Structure 1
Amino acid sequence: MGVIKKNIMAIKKYIGPEVLLAAVIKSNAYGHGIIEVVRAVSQVGVEFLCVDNVAEATAISKQFPASSKILILGGVESEDLDWVIKNNVRLALFNSSHPRTFERSSQRCGRRAKVHIKIDTGMHRLGIDANEAVEVITKINNNYKNIEIEGIWSHFADSGSRENKKYTQEQIKKFSNIVDQIEKDGIQIKYKHLCNSAGAINYPEARFNLVRTGIIIYGIFPSEYIKKKYQKKINVKPALSFKTKIVSLRDLPKGERIGYGLAYRLKKNSKIAVLPVGYKDGYGRSLSNIGEVIVRGRRCPIVGRICMRMMMVDVSSVSRVKLNDEVILLGGDGRVRIEADEVAEKMDTIPYEILARIAESVPRIYKK
């Protein structure tokens, strides 16, 4: 957890003191464990804790009644609205039916709903259409007395690449124009936030007064382009290691075939280790026969198909290997490291998925 705290401090230093930071801890804090991450980030001063849903908000509220402000980025079912408003949890307002629903719930609770109005500036996922945003914001401000517009926000479609820079700049322009217009009309909104991790790093003009940082606080750059451009400017380190131990060892002769479907044939006499980790634990089956792990400082190939709760590894190159030896799936042993970026590339996906898919049933051990 100390690494996450240091990462946040490094990001704060980079973006400057005028910009507040919201920690995105959705999806079990990107696989890191939401409760312990909240405990850590709350010690270094974040303005909001951004979650996916009511379940995550509830878990945080039970453990940390006086925690930082919670903002639910996704939708909230009508039966959960009263709890959200009573507990002062912030709501994302992103469609035209929300004001009426939120207003009724607020009247029942005797408390104003605090909302962050999401504007669709080009992501085309959630949000009020940018062309209608000023009208909608004005209507809510004037007609819904039980709704407090605490923030307005949007989301970049691709702020982490060189190829779509023009599109990103168009999103910034749309959002800026909306902010300028509502302020010209006398509507003051406390928080304006557009940037995710990549945007916060790569587009200083789009930071406004709050940025939502997710993957970067866990020490992973949001794209290879951002990593190459900024890794020497922002000192962040991966916070998570994924480890297991050898549960079985056996010597097999050349020509033997390994695992389901007999998908791998040994090219020489080999020592094969079995690890108690598989796709049920979030380790991708597509890494069969192409992934690697680290044993005693050496990279060892995965052989055969990854099973639901087990995988086989060729440890022939490791001297004095034995049962219960530690095996690193993500992380490092000295100078030898396997990072989420590398695994993602082999799986034709992104580092976000590699981290988020680690099952909650996998035990976590936290270090300060």
Structure 2
Amino acid sequence: MEGLRTWIEIDRSAIRHNLSIFRSLIDKKVRLMSVVKSNAYGHGLYDFTTAIDKIGADWFGVDSLIEGLALRREGIKKPILVLGFTLPERIEEAAGNDVSITVSNFETLAVVAKRKGARRIKMHLKVDTGMHRQGFDISELPKVCKIIVEANKNGANITIEGLYTHFAAAKNPSFPHETNKQIELFNEAIKIVESFGFKPIKHASATAGTLLFPKAHYDMVRIGIGLYGMWPSKETMRALENKITLKPVMSWKTVIGEVKIVSEGGGVGYDLTEKLPKNSKIAICPIGYWHGFGRVFSSVGNVLVRGQRAKVLGRVSMDMITIDVSKVKNVKVGDEVVIIGKQVKDKITADEMAFISDGVNYEIVTRTNPLIKRILV
């Protein structure tokens, strides 16, 4: 890519394909939230959101009010829900920009209940059905609803726009018991909240839940990792890869910055942790752990050069890696190098990198530096 040392390409056609897959799995009346938290899982908050907004997501889920306001400034008009914690002093800012917030504890609820405002606060109550992260216990819901009813009598102008939970173990189809138990508890929560006259949008399923638990689609599903063309777990992939195909949206690339010959026995990188067993042709690429290519890939990672794998030599530096291109013909400065994606007949996936690093694909893509240029292709 002219003028760039490293960049990330976002494939519009892959976004469209993945969205169509999830649309086909849910009823036409069920809304689809595109979860774009954490810089759209590293794909670029604005770039990915504007692309999928035009294709047809109904809602957007973000981690923080900062992300929600950024989308509003960029002209996103569709509903936005902050899935994470909103600072009490910024709740009015959320209301003023028509950004819905998650309320999952009595401390936040107390702040909301005391207000008197012309602008309505749209809340999504989160219920803890077993993950034991965010959320009210089901036994607390009657008290929660009573507080909201009384607050509105005093001019609080708040509404329970949504009611939701999050599944802890939906990714593993071999153990559905825990998810089914959470579904049962959530159904009880719905009955309690609706008994107070509220009619919230009900949602529980993320990518894995949407794929494996159709009975838990409710009024809306929240799709994150699947829209980016990745599976939430190996178990989910094995269960469904013969039925549906997901297409990775991200390709991450850099270039060859230097090529040289190093004699047998020469050490490479900081602390000379790797010695070359023979005369070798090496190349330097301007990418390192600052960009999101972690030190964990030192001496074990691979990249693609001219369609062939080139092993990372020695330690990954802050801004550079050294690779072995001894078997790659005609390598020259400026050649494209693929970190994630396809080149000729080979490919490197976030899943492969996660396996090498003993991590998860989510981590690989979300750690890509936000300053790296994202380009829609």
1:355 has 2:365 as partner = yes
The equivalent residue for 2:133 is: 125
The equivalent residue for 1:136 is: 144
- Within 1, Cα distance between the matches of 2:285 and 2:173? 40
What is the CA distance between 1:323 and its match in structure 2?
Answer: 1.0
Q: Is the 8 A contact 1:103 1:113 kept in 2?
A: no
- Within 2, Cα distance between the matches of 1:104 and 1:93? 14
Q: Is the 8 A contact 1:159 1:198 kept in 2?
A: yes
- Within 2, Cα distance between the matches of 1:242 and 1:90? 33
Structure 1 window deviating more from structure 2 (155-164 vs 69-78): it is 155-164
Cα 1:40–1:25 shift into 2, 3 Å: same
Q: Is the 8 A contact 1:134 1:178 kept in 2?
A: no
The equivalent residue for 1:114 is: 122
Amino acid at match of 1:126: Q
* Helix, strand or coil at the partner of 1:27: helix
1:29 has 2:40 as partner = yes
The equivalent residue for 1:253 is: 263
What is the CA distance between 1:334 and its match in structure 2?
Answer: 3.0
RMSD of Structure 2 on Structure 1 (CA): 1.5
The equivalent residue for 1:151 is: 162
* Helix, strand or coil at the partner of 1:92: strand
Q: Is the 8 A contact 1:193 1:211 kept in 2?
A: yes
Amino acid at match of 1:366: L
- Within 2, Cα distance between the matches of 1:248 and 1:44? 41
- Within 2, Cα distance between the matches of 1:314 and 1:12? 44
- Within 2, Cα distance between the matches of 1:290 and 1:120? 41
The equivalent residue for 1:341 is: 351
- Within 2, Cα distance between the matches of 1:270 and 1:252? 5
Q: Is the 8 A contact 2:64 2:84 kept in 1?
A: yes
The equivalent residue for 2:7 is: none
The equivalent residue for 1:49 is: 60
Alpha-carbon displacement from aligned partner over 1:73-102 (angstroms, at most 9, x marks no partner): 111112212111111110101001222311
- What TM-score do the two structures reach when normalised by structure 2? 0.93
The equivalent residue for 2:5 is: none
Structure 1 window deviating more from structure 2 (35-44 vs 279-288): it is 35-44
Structure 2 spans left out of the alignment, 5+ residues = 1-11
Amino acid at match of 1:278: G
1:270 has 2:280 as partner = yes
Aligned residues: 363
Alpha-carbon displacement from aligned partner over 1:127-167 (angstroms, at most 9, x marks no partner): 11122224423442454352100100011111101454211
Q: Please list, as runs of the form range in 1=range in 2, the aligned pairs for 1:280-295 lying within 5 A after superposition.
A: 280-295=290-305
- Sequence identity (%): 36
Structure 1 spans left out of the alignment, 5+ residues = none
Relative contact order (C-alpha < 8 Å, sep 6+): which is higher?
2
The equivalent residue for 2:249 is: 239
1:208 has 2:218 as partner = yes
